[in-house]
Amino acid sequence: MSKTIPYKIYLSEEEMPTTWYNLRADMKNKPAPLLNPQTLKPMSEKELEAVFCAELVKQELDNDTREFEIPREILDFYKMYRPAPLVRAYCLEEALKTPAKIYYKFEGNNTSGSHKLNSAIAQAYYAKNQGLKGVTTETGAGQWGTALSMACAFLGLDCKVYMVKISYEQKPFRREVMRTYGASVTPSPSRETEVGRRILDAHPGTNGSLGCAISEAVEKAVGTEGYRYVLGSVLNQVLLHQSVIGTETKIAMDKYGIHPDVIIGCAGGGSNLGGLIAPFMGEKLRGEADYRFVAVEPASCPSLTRGRFAYDFCDTGMVCPLAKMYTLGSDFIPSPNHAGGLRYHGMSPVLSQLYHDGYMEAVSYPQTDVFEAAERFARTEGILPAPESSHAIKAALDEAERCRETGEEKTILFGLTGTGYFDMYAYESFHDGKMTDFVPTDEDIEKSLSKLPKVEG
């Protein structure tokens, strides 16, 4: 029977989703509102519009509309790199000698190398539609910046990326991909912004940080006519756009009568996990079906497994709104883990609320275990996974190996968010036995949590 399911399921254009699913509509406990960092009052639509595009603010604040129609132009762009294949991991199952059935949704078949493009094109589209000239953003390792550059190139929109200085210098490849797509890439801190100049004057030799790059990008957007700031994860709007991952997956699974018992995704800011689980979680919330959901995070940055559910700043510079989420404290500095995309102190408010309400589990792994899983996966399934994605692989392998012991024929689904082509230094350190694991102590975490802002709620 099972061999009647192809190795890879590609939806036809007619089968592809035409709406984004808004998980918040089915949540009894809605995610808490963003707060103004000055007044600590909920951000109004108007306040948010100074930073974000108007249409995106509407999506951010709308906890009720269940389906959002995807504009035709975005659907056309999606057709350039979607559908993403749902892969039946026959080779991995055989290698593991597990009775489990393993599926993964592979989002790496595009030049940004990850799922980030799904939201980048949406955000760029609404910016263009509003008549804006351009958008600003920050990037660390560069996945989000690359995705945004591609979307902006397609729409003829200016794209200004503040890239953490040390990445700009030590990881020139993604910088060059962004330049190929016409983005202007500035090492941060720069002298282009007040906050950048202030930091440079105080710390002339600084390597920069994501927090500083965010502050520069926001300052530039707010201070430049015709520009807005865009962000690649955490926000409700981003999870909305990323629901296309889960909806495509569910259509493919329904077509072949597949019911996943457990759904696994890596979680940094939560955009991939939130997107992958959305329609399945919706069914669970509505009592129509049951699934287990597992968020996987690095042991070095364990916001769900060891953080606190509280209001906190989204950035280290404390210029962005506050969100109620699982957080390690905006002051928390994760060790230099190679999964750059998971080095975030907080977690999407939607996912945080669901986790808090008991709808989801979370686990964490040290990175050497993760790279070992990555290599096993690469050798059997061919795809070279990103370090971020490999967290989900590790959890899926563990689950499949438990099935081997118990004999359970579980169906496992995980999100393979991207490829590791730009992470070969990390693989090299793993091959050479030089990779180390850093797990923060309770004191480390308590220390940064002690500085959480005092907010009711």
Binding residues (CB under 8 A) for a copy of itself: these are 6-8, 10, 12-13, 76, 79-81, 90-91, 109-111, 113, 150, 153-154, 172-173, 176-177, 179-182, 374-375, 378-384, 419, 421-422, 424-425, 427-428, 431
Tokens representing residue 436 in the block: 């180390």
Helix (H) or strand (E) holding 311: strand 308-313
Pairing relationship of beta strands 158-164 and 134-139 according to DSSP bridges: parallel
Q: How far apart are CA 245 and CA 84, in angstroms?
A: 8
DSSP 3-state assignment of 378? helix
Q: Which of 251, 341, 258 minimizes the C-alpha distance to 89?
A: 258
Which residue, 37 or 182, has its beta carbon nearer to a copy of itself? 182
Instruction: Please list the alpha-helical segments (H only) found in 382-441.
Output: 387-406, 424-431
Which residue, 335 or 429, has its beta carbon nearer to a copy of itself? 429
Least distance from a copy of itself to the Cβ atom of residue 158, Å: 13
Q: 327 has which bridge partners?
A: 308
Which residue, 5 or 301, has its beta carbon nearer to a copy of itself? 5
Q: How far apart are CA 2 and CA 253, in angstroms?
A: 13
Which residue, 2 or 111, has its beta carbon nearer to a copy of itself? 111
Which residue, 6 or 457, has its beta carbon nearer to a copy of itself? 6
Least distance from a copy of itself to the Cβ atom of residue 380, Å: 7
Query: Distances in Å between the alpha carbon of 75 and those of 59, 416, 450?
Result: 18, 22, 45
Pairing relationship of beta strands 308-313 and 411-416 according to DSSP bridges: unpaired
DSSP 3-state assignment of 259? coil
Least distance from a copy of itself to the Cβ atom of residue 427, Å: 5
Least distance from a copy of itself to the Cβ atom of residue 80, Å: 5
Least distance from a copy of itself to the Cβ atom of residue 229, Å: 23
Least distance from a copy of itself to the Cβ atom of residue 172, Å: 7
Q: How far apart are CA 331 and CA 345, in angstroms?
A: 8
Which residue, 203 or 379, has its beta carbon nearer to a copy of itself? 379
131: left (phi over 0), alpha (psi -120 to 50) or beta: left
Q: How far apart are CA 324 and CA 350, in angstroms?
A: 9
Helix (H) or strand (E) holding 177: helix 172-180
- Cβ atoms 161, 138 nearer than 8 A: yes
Q: How far apart are CA 426 and CA 338, in angstroms?
A: 6
Q: How far apart are CA 318 and CA 316, in angstroms?
A: 5
Reported in sequence order, the residue ranges of 6-133 that DSSP labels E, i.e. its strands, are 8-9, 19-21, 67-69, 86-88, 101-106
Least distance from a copy of itself to the Cβ atom of residue 340, Å: 16
DSSP 3-state assignment of 85? coil
Least distance from a copy of itself to the Cβ atom of residue 286, Å: 33
Which residue, 109 or 206, has its beta carbon nearer to a copy of itself? 109
Which residue, 149 or 316, has its beta carbon nearer to a copy of itself? 149
Least distance from a copy of itself to the Cβ atom of residue 434, Å: 13
Which residue, 19 or 421, has its beta carbon nearer to a copy of itself? 421
Tokens representing residue 298 in the block: 């690095």
* Cβ count within 10 A of residue 71: 16
Which residue, 176 or 357, has its beta carbon nearer to a copy of itself? 176
Least distance from a copy of itself to the Cβ atom of residue 39, Å: 42
